[in-house]
Amino acid sequence: MLKEQLKAYMEAHREAMIEDISTLVRIKSDKGEAAPGAPFGEGPAAALKKAMEICGDKGFVVKNWDGYVMTADMNGKESGLDILAHLDVVPVSEGWTKTEPFEPKLIGNKLYGRGTADDKGPAVAALYAMMAVKELGVPLKSNCRLILGTDEECGSSDIRHYYAQVPEAPCTFSPDAEFPCINIEKGSIAPHYLASYAKSDVLPRIIRVDGGTKINVVPNKAEAVVEGFEESVLRGIAEDTTAETGVTFELKEEAGKTYITAHGTDAHASMPEKGNNAITGLLTLLAALPAAESEMMDKLRAFQKLYPHGDGQGLACGIAMEDKESGAMTSTLDIFHLNETGFEGEVDCRCPICATDENVTEVLRAAAEKAGVKLDERCKLNPPHCVPADSPFVQTLLSVYEEYTGQKGEALAIGGGTYTHHLKNGVAFGCEFPGSEDCHMHGNDEFVNVDELVLSAEMFAQVIIDICGE
């Protein structure tokens, strides 16, 4: 009976849910410059303020925690369940076709816009789950708290700030990954490489290279400026590189220099195989150029060999590994900048349970030294996270999933990291379903399947009842 009531409630509130998601999506909430009351910039602060208004208007007790996160409570009882979601988004790039990134648009059952899937849509689904439990009058013995943060995409300092003041709830889930349930999150390491060299004006030469916007996004665009190369040579190497990598190139002559723009396909860094990295494609081209001998070219070519195009597992730099529980290493060069006296590159690595500082960090350091570049001394492995699959909490989540979908529930591992990574009994639950169409999270034309989001909200409500109900 309750299951039918929850389904009816969510269907009756479908349009309101879409409107609340759209209201938040219209706010450009990627990280900006810190300001008083806005530790992550004006955009995230505006999203936090609007979310507080939405939650408060629906009758929940809300609180702003120093501009880092907001909370919405169902009651004043001791906490039984925390639900963690985030309002910040990754920056947008060129190439959106369905709508502008911050102009949400519903096409069929898909709501397009930056943040619809990651993570504003799931955040609103959790809010409506709390509304359903409250308005249906289900008695609760403990509190369910919705926690909405503003720095998940840039290191989760918001959640660290919050949990430095508040103890963890006995159970926590984040609707920021996949169903049935994510009980293992890979470890991570973010190698930051630096190289310096003497300036050389000898032609032909490379003057500048820039690519990437965020370390956890496979870049779809990168640019270079070169000087002194014959146009026919550049175009020939560009065509060969496209044939090898699939990355395409635009060449433009201006004031004696050639501007090269590489076009690939963006993707979440935890799934580099879904993208086509414009930076590594461009470095493939640049390493093949008949440039004048220089220290720059020696170091650039050596570095390019550590991160060749298409190597998404760290084979070339010596860290490829995998285990049964958490899968294979992923490794992707997502930010690169070069000028006449130095370059730097930033890499996103998602590491399986078998990874250690000895078999990852030290191997990367040795490879960097051999290539003549420096690995930042602060580079260190962030350990993986695991909640036992047979724990009562995970089994409750899997039971709800099976009841509402009719599909077998199982605990899974992912390469992405969520807010729950450092919480003792924290897992990810939703909102992507097995076999569903890729929602382009972190990519162009991001969308959320509204039918699936409504079903997610029904399941979240059932979880609240099972964990917090009398």
What length does the chain have?
Answer: 470
Q: How many CB atoms lie within 10 A of CB 287?
A: 19
Q: Indicate if 152 belongs to the active site.
A: yes
- List, as one string, the DSSP characters of 224-248: EEEES--HHHHHHHHHHHHHHH--E
Catalytic residue among 30, 152, 158, 178: 152
- Amino acid at site 467: I
Residue type (1 letter), 120: K
- Cα 79 to Cα 95: distance, rounded to the nearest angstrom: 44
CB contact at 8 A, 77 and 140: yes
| Strand 192-196 with 342-351, pairing | antiparallel
| φ/ψ bin of 212: left (φ > 0), alpha (ψ from -120 to 50), beta (otherwise) | left
Per DSSP, what are the bridge partners of residue 252? 259
Coil, helix or strand for 79? strand
The Cα 89–Cα 75 span in angstroms is 29
Interstrand relation of 342-351 and 143-149 (parallel, antiparallel or unpaired): unpaired
- DSSP readout, 297-322? HHHHHHHHHHS-TT--S-TTTT---E
* 411-414 and 385-386 beta bridge pairing: unpaired
Helices (H), 30-105: 42-57
User: Alpha carbon 124 to chain centroid distance?
Assistant: 19
135 is catalytic: no
Ramachandran category for residue 406: left, alpha or beta (phi over 0 → left; psi -120 to 50 → alpha): left
State the distance between the two ends of the chain, measured CA to CA, in whole angstroms. 17
146: tokens are 């919705």
Residues 461/6, Cβ–Cβ less than 8 Å:
yes
Residue type, 305: K
- Measured in whole angstroms, the distance separating CA 188 from the mean position of its chain's CA atoms is 13
- Asked if omega into 144 is within 30° of 0 (cis), the reply is no
Catalytic residue among 30, 82, 88, 153: 88
Per DSSP bridges, beta strands 322-323 and 327-328 are antiparallel
Catalytically annotated residues: 88, 152
